[in-house]
Structure 1
Amino acid sequence: MRTLPEPAVRHWDFPRGIASAALMLRFGAERGLPRDTLLDGSDLTADDLADPVAEINAHQELAVVRNLAAHLPRAGIAAGRHYHATTFGVLGHAFLSAATMQDAVDMALRYLDLSFTFTGPTAALDGDRLVISLHPAGLPDDVRPFLVERDLAAIHTVIGELVTGEVPVLAVDLAHAAPPDTSDHEEVFGLRPEFGAGRDRSVVDASVLARALPLASPEATALCERQCEDLATRRRRKPGVAGEVRRVLEHSARFEETMPVVARALGISPRTLRRRLTEAGTSYQALLDEVRADRAAALLPGASVEQVAAQLGFAEAASFIHAFRRWYGTTPSNYARSRGTSGG
């Protein structure tokens, strides 16, 4: 079994199609919520919603979600069940045409910014278990439980569609408190989640990754992947303020730039940059960590821990090791060994 790729993004502030916002509007309408109520603060128009190729920013969809969650705070699981492979457009067709479930998961992670996620999902193999973790720390408190449940239910709904059978879920942990009724959770996951767990994740028997998918087509996969790459390349040119900060940091030699230096490079004040990053659900430190984490993973196969620590601007290797463990859940040396290198 191959290792799983790192996700294409570790944040939610990326451009996205209209399909998810439109789905949330239909979901709310079925429950008696007026469209105008759900669109409040989103700046979305009737023309946007009628255009199947319209692209919006993450804050516009988040506004719709916030309005929906305000009226239906416990409907996250029910909303997530409305997401199907086809909801994701060309990315969803790439899932459907994949040879195995692992190929579909690989595609999802490589093109995560073509999805509608807000919770930064990652996937990792732990022995014979597949651990799907959500990372919603940057989300506003008023939408976090709703979006965690929506995204996790959507992931499991799509997996179930792809394998056309029962998904072998071993455990589900959710950080928020249990709702009065967990029947929707039990129907989606096949068990009652552990609430108040301090983390958001599901654990699935890794054997699901080897399952052959019934609609597999190498020709369709190749075509979908090319279209995904073209779409991702175009969208990644419009990254928003968080992406602009990442761009500056990615061009840093040793990550010595402070937030005022980056703000000046972007032509805005540090206070404005801090506010915009807060609105985007992130922070300068979080972005610095993301870029450092990606750079560390790229450098480790050919450099020692001490060399990578210096390259990333850490004063000492011990500080880097501590940070790396927080990013990846293991030490740099173990990470390098798992990829067939020593990591010094």
Structure 2
Amino acid sequence: MAHEVRVVEPAARDWEFPRAAAGTAHLVSYAAARGVAAPVVLAGTGLREADLVVPGREVTAAQELLVVRTLQRLLPGSGERVGATYRASSFGVLGYALLASRTVREAMEVTLRFIDLSYAFALPRAELSGERVRLVVDGSGLPGDVRAFLVARDTTAIHVVADSLVPGGLGAVHTLGPEVGVLDLAAAELDRPLPRDPSTAGAQLAEDMCRDVVARRRERTGIARDVQVLVTQRLPEGAPMAAVAGGLGLTERSLRRRLAAAGVGYRALVEEVRESLARSLLESRATLPVADVARRLGYADAAAFTHAFTRWTGVPPAAYSRGVR
């Protein structure tokens, strides 16, 4: 009996999307368990270990790639072993959506639709071949020095997480090459139901959560999005342009020129980040004092923040946090 497989294209076309800092934290934890201290693993990234546990914090692909390069240098050939340490819960809201899926097919499709919520560098695509499904993990576009490491890590992580979704696993076989990994399984496995946990949200709710997170990430692309990620990391110090440009390996002049080509200015991006974070902080259940929010956003004092916030929203921060909008 033939099994219908609807092939979903991955949402991302390349690996250069920002990603949750939790992915970098996972790599740091792996290294620490093998005697490599966090400052060593994070050298050159501009990140500290404390940065990786800030809720909602993101890193650029380039920052995480520096960590991967350090792991490859200090723990050579460990890509497959790193991949084996991932679980669905490692992937935050995306992992939540995987566990809320009704079938293996749904889990595969939600992963591809929201692949930019993962930590993948070697991007997967699904192919149907007769009664078999091949998940091809393609690293051909990755930098050569870390390509094999990332193909091994990402293919193994997909295999381990997929097997964990159903009792006894999927019976899949994975093979690793220097540029491509393949996960091969019977098409019939896609129709297997996932065990239902009463505490897990429904599939639609979980997918809506993914959509909310990814919508913010997809508002900007390319250099503008990377600037926003680095601005967020450096807001408490005021996000000086020189520091953000340096984090991207650029001069201020080069960064200004590239942003102009993208049709946006540096100050406008800083304002977007500040407004988004301010709204989030003031809407949270554990509402912070206005002075604390101002400090987190890099303002000299609460008055300067209040003036800016009122300009953005039409109401002062205290009124906004009370629901007067």
Normalising by the smaller structure, the TM-score range is 0.5 to 0.7
Q: Distance in 1 between matches of 2:22 and 2:53?
A: 10
Of stretches 96-105 and 123-132 in structure 1, the one that deviates more from structure 2 is 123-132
Q: Distance in 2 between matches of 1:243 and 1:212?
A: 38
Residue 89 of structure 1 aligns to a residue whose secondary structure is helix
Indicate if the aligned counterparts of 2:162 and 2:169 stay in contact, CA closer than 8 A.
Answer: no
In the other structure, the counterpart of 1:15 is 18
| CA distance 1:209–1:63, change in 2 (3 Å) | same
Q: TM-score, structure 2 length as denominator? A: 0.65
In the other structure, the counterpart of 1:203 is 184
Q: Quote the RMSD (CA, aligned, Å).
A: 2.3
Indicate if the aligned counterparts of 1:7 and 1:110 stay in contact, CA closer than 8 A.
Answer: yes
In the other structure, the counterpart of 1:155 is 158
Counterpart residue type for residue 195 of structure 2:
P
| CA distance 1:128–1:42, change in 2 (3 Å) | same
How big is the shift at 1:139?
Answer: 1.3
Counterpart residue type for residue 221 of structure 1:
A
Indicate if the aligned counterparts of 1:15 and 1:239 stay in contact, CA closer than 8 A.
Answer: no
Counterpart residue type for residue 209 of structure 1:
L
Instruction: Show structure 1 runs of 5+ residues with no match.
Output: 177-197, 245-263, 270-344
Task: Report whether the alignment pairs 1:71 with 2:53.
Answer: no
In the other structure, the counterpart of 1:175 is 177
Deviations 1:51-104 (A, max 9, x none): 132111111111111101111121111111111101111111111011100000
Task: Report whether the alignment pairs 1:238 with 2:240.
Answer: no
Residue 165 of structure 2 aligns to a residue whose secondary structure is helix
Identity %: 39
How big is the shift at 1:266?
Answer: 6.1
| Count of equivalent residues | 228
How big is the shift at 1:240?
Answer: 2.0
In the other structure, the counterpart of 1:314 is none
Indicate if the aligned counterparts of 1:121 and 1:134 stay in contact, CA closer than 8 A.
Answer: yes
Q: Distance in 2 between matches of 1:99 and 1:158?
A: 15
Q: Distance in 2 between matches of 1:76 and 1:242?
A: 31
In the other structure, the counterpart of 1:215 is 196
The equivalent position to 2:211 in structure 1, one of 229, 238, 253, is 229
How big is the shift at 1:243?
Answer: 8.0
Matches within 5 A, 1:1-344: 1-170=4-173, 172-176=174-178, 199-215=180-196, 220-241=202-223, 267=260
Counterpart residue type for residue 218 of structure 2:
R
In the other structure, the counterpart of 1:191 is none
Q: Distance in 2 between matches of 1:36 and 1:243?
A: 26
Instruction: Show structure 2 runs of 5+ residues with no match.
Output: 227-256, 263-325
Indicate if the aligned counterparts of 1:15 and 1:56 stay in contact, CA closer than 8 A.
Answer: yes
How big is the shift at 1:175?
Answer: 2.5
| CA distance 1:49–1:166, change in 2 (3 Å) | same
In the other structure, the counterpart of 1:249 is none
